Structure 1
Amino acid sequence: MSKVLDFIKENELAWQPSYTGAVGSLEGYRGALIVEQGKQISPDRKLPPKIQARQVIMVCDDEKMKFLTCELESFNDFKPMYEKYKEFFTPEGIYVLYVTDLEGNGTFEYDGVTFTAYVLDESSVWNEILELLDLDKGDLKKLDAEEKIEAVYDEVVGSDTTDAKKTYEEMCELIGESSKQLMGAV
């Protein structure tokens, strides 16, 4: 098993996973990842995570994350997420973040690793990454979980997922109010 997935399992960082397993010759994960644990309220009960990377789609080899896309509720959650998983990021990886409180997009470098952050308004990470990669949702519906992740990964490797170059500090200046619209009964 990948060191990344071992780390997640050993530290109980998976939150509501929907897939963990092979993605071709690599390994993948879909679900959420805990960045900061929730408060332990009794020996067998814990509150939901304080900070999490939601809607994660991840592909990793034996040592590193080769691809990660996820939702962050705030760009302020980026630094804690990076610190928690920093040993698994690599300059060769592809990392696409969808952030609900950004007022603009950008590609920035942090600790020698490139990340691209996009505003997430109302959609899901899955829909956004498919749109970014120009993949047809209908074609993917026929595939199983492993094949869907593999199709996204195969496409992202040959695609340009970057946006306008910015510094990390310039990205921090784009933090505003959450732009995500709550959906449901009114």
Structure 2
Amino acid sequence: MSTTFAEPGLATTAFARLEAEGRLLNPVLKGPTRKPGRFGFRGELALRFATRLADEARPPELTCDQVIAVAQVGDPKLAFFAGYLLSFEHLKDVAEALGDTLGAGGKYFLFCNNIDLSKKYQVAMNGAVFYVLPIDEATVYNELLELFYLDKSELKKLDTAGKTDRVADAALKFDLGFDTITYAEGLALMGPVRNPNENRPV
């Protein structure tokens, strides 16, 4: 069962606009974490919405999946955001959707399915720097544990909010530098996009 934001907490964090726009989908966590004044979200971020016909509710055209993010009460910027993208090109959609919630001091990680497994990049967009990495360990959560040298067995005893805190705390201390490229350079370097509907029943 997902947690919900307690008011007025949500309205005083960087999640406020994203929630108001209906971008925070399928949450397994959407509420206070174990750290005072911190809110966490784990779920999907809607990037592009489908055209609405009358009252028909349609799923978004594009999402950033496996999102893990935290925001502090009173801070309009997201402190930490991580998620999964099928293609590097959708980095632009993430930067546009997050918009004014991005800050120069935040730590933002995107794991892309079509990035060379041996490469890691830094890409500046919308006044923020994104760490762009390949997806190798199947899930964003496992990738982050490996990147931050966190012990999975130690985190098992924590609840979702506690695990989110531990990952976010490690992310905020992360200061490794990767190759810096532009968005255009990344588009030229990215590989083909896997068909997300492959092997799915019709």
The answer to whether the aligner puts 1:89 opposite 2:99 as a matched pair is no
The answer to whether the aligner puts 1:52 opposite 2:67 as a matched pair is no
Note closer, same or farther for the CA distance 1:60–1:180 as it changes in structure 2 (3 Å cut).
Answer: farther
Letter in 2 for 1:174: L
Shift of 1:29: 0.4
The answer to whether the aligner puts 1:158 opposite 2:170 as a matched pair is no
Letter in 1 for 2:48: E
Find the aligned partners of 2:158 and 2:195 in 1 and give their Cα distance. Answer: 29
Q: How does 1:1-186 map to 2 (within 5 A)?
A: 1=10, 2-23=12-33, 24-25=35-36, 26-41=38-53, 43-46=55-58, 48-61=59-72, 62=74, 63-103=76-116, 104-121=119-136, 123-178=138-193
- Does the Cα contact within 8 Å between 2:95 and 2:126 map onto a contact in 1? no
Find the aligned partners of 2:154 and 2:195 in 1 and give their Cα distance. Answer: 27
1:105-140 per-position Cα deviation (integer Å, ceiling 9, x unaligned): 211222331111011146100110110001111111
Note closer, same or farther for the CA distance 1:144–1:183 as it changes in structure 2 (3 Å cut).
Answer: farther
TM-score (norm 2): 0.82
* Count of matched residue positions in the alignment of Structure 1 and Structure 2: 184
Shift of 1:182: 9.3
Note closer, same or farther for the CA distance 1:129–1:169 as it changes in structure 2 (3 Å cut).
Answer: same
TM-score (norm 1): 0.88
Identity %: 27
User: Gapped runs of 5+ residues in structure 1?
Assistant: none
User: Gapped runs of 5+ residues in structure 2?
Assistant: 1-9
Note closer, same or farther for the CA distance 1:56–1:162 as it changes in structure 2 (3 Å cut).
Answer: farther
Find the aligned partners of 2:133 and 2:61 in 1 and give their Cα distance. Answer: 22
SS in 2 for 1:45: coil
Letter in 1 for 2:14: V
Shift of 1:142: 0.6
Question: Going by fraction, where is strand more abundant, 1 or 2?
Answer: 1
